[in-house]
Amino acid sequence: MIRLVCAGEGEYMEIYTSETIKEASEKEWSTLTGPDAIEHSYKWLCTVEEAGQRDLVYAFVRDHGSLKAAACCIVMKEKLHIMNFPLLEVRSPFAASQGFFSVGSAYTQVLLKKLEEIRIEKKTLGYVILDLPEDQYTYLRPHMSGLSSFPMMENTYIDLHYADFDQYLESLEEYAWRSARMTLNRAKRWKIKTVFTPELSQWAHEAHRLQEYTCSAHHDFQWLLPEGFYRALEKNLSHHVELQLFFKDDILLASSVVLHTPTACYYRFPGIDPRYRKYQAYFLMYYEGIRHAFEKNHKRIYFGLTGYTFKKRIGCKMEPLFGFSKMKNILFDVGFKTYVSLMRKRKKR
C-alpha cells in the first residue's frame, strides 16, 4: 500500500506498509538504525520472519526514495488483570530493543499517523513505542505530541574496563567475590564443562526444551524461541551468534544464546533444567559469560531484564529504557499506565 504526501513543490514522501523487512535493503536499514545494533538489525528481523512466530507489520517513510523513518510493529494480546488488552507494539521482536526510527520531526509525524492507521486496521486499543534507550527517548520526546511517556524495565550491563577476568572478580564486594569464587570452585570440582558453539541447529531442540523450563517457571512464554529460530539465527547471523552450553558429564544442564558485535555481547534466552539446580548453572552463565567476553575482547556485556538483585551484586549497571503510548481513549490510557507500573514492581521483586 503506497500513499503520497506532498511536502512542498516538487517534493513528496512515500509512506507504505509491508509484512517483510525485505521491502528495504540491508544497507539502508543499517544506515537508519545503526550498524552495530544487532537486536534490531536487518538479519535479526529476517530471522524472526523465517521462524514464523510473530506477525509483523513494517511502516516505511521515504523521501526522494531515501529511507527516513520506519517502524516494526507486532499485534500483541497483553493481559491486563482479567481483560485482554490488544495492543500494537512497536519494538524489535524477541528483544529488548527499539523498533521505531526517524531522522527528523516531519518524518516522525508522518510515521505516527501511519501507526494510528495500522492500529485502526488491526483493531487494537492503542499503540505503544517500546524499549527506547535514553538518548533516543530524549531525541523523540519533543516530537511526540499527544502521546504519553513512561519508564520501562531497565536493561543490565557491565563495562569491562579490567585487565582480565581475575581483576574483574577482585573488583567485586567481598561477599560477591567469595560467592563467585565458591561457585567457580564447585563447578571445577564437579567437572562442569562450559561449551560455546556456533552450531545452533544441532542444539535447537535441547535449547528450546531448556528455555521452556524457564518460561514455565515464570509463567511467561512470550520470549520462548521455537526450534526454527535457532536454525534461522545460525543461517542469518553465523558470525555473530553462539550457544553457551553447560554439561555435567553427558547431561546438558543449561543453555543461553550469545550475540556478538565488534564491541559488545548480549546474553539472551536462558534455559535451565530444574532437576539439576544443585550444579548452579544459572550463576555459572554469568561468570563464564563474563570470562568469555574478556576472551573476545568485548568492552561491554549485556544481561537483559529482571534478576536485578543478583546482577547488581556482580557489578551490573542499569540502562534506562522508555516508551510512549497512545490509547484509543483516556480510560485505556490510565489502564495501560497502571498495568506498566504494576509489571515493573512485580518483576523487580
Same domain flag for 39 and 163:
no
306 and 163, same structural domain? yes
Task: Indicate if 134 and 220 belong to the same structural domain.
Answer: no
Q: What pLDDT sits at residue 220?
A: 84
State the pLDDT at residue 24: 96
Number of structural domains the chain divides into = 2
Same domain, 125 and 245: no
Asked whether 206 and 256 are in contact (CB, 8 A), the reply is: no
Q: Are residues 20 and 149 in the same domain?
A: yes
Question: Mean pLDDT by 10-residue block, N- to C-terminus, for the chain (349 residues)?
Answer: 49 88 96 90 95 86 95 78 74 94 95 96 93 96 92 95 97 96 97 97 97 92 92 95 97 98 96 96 97 97 94 96 89 72 63
165 and 286 assigned to the same domain: yes
- Amino acid 119 reads R
Q: What is the pTM of this model?
A: 0.91
**What's the pLDDT at 219?**
85
Task: Answer yes or no: do 171 and 283 share one domain.
Answer: yes
pLDDT at 329 (0 to 100): 76
Q: In terms of domains, do 220 and 292 share one?
A: yes
Q: Are residues 170 and 302 in the same domain?
A: yes
SS3 state at 154: coil
CATH of the domain at 189: 3.40.630.30
- Report the pLDDT value the prediction gives residue 86, as an integer from 0 to 100: 85
pLDDT (0 to 100) of residue 330: 74
* Amino acid identity for residue 36 in this structure: D
pLDDT for the residue numbered 7: 52
Q: Which residues of 192-210 are buried (b: 16+ CB within 10 A; e: fewer)?
A: bebeeebebbebbebbbeb
Tell me, yes or no, whether 162 and 110 share the same domain: no
Same domain? For 176 and 101 the reply is no
CA distances from 282 to 103, 187, 299, 311 (A): 41, 12, 23, 12
Q: Are 214 and 133 within one domain? A: no
Q: Which domain holds residue 198?
A: 157-319
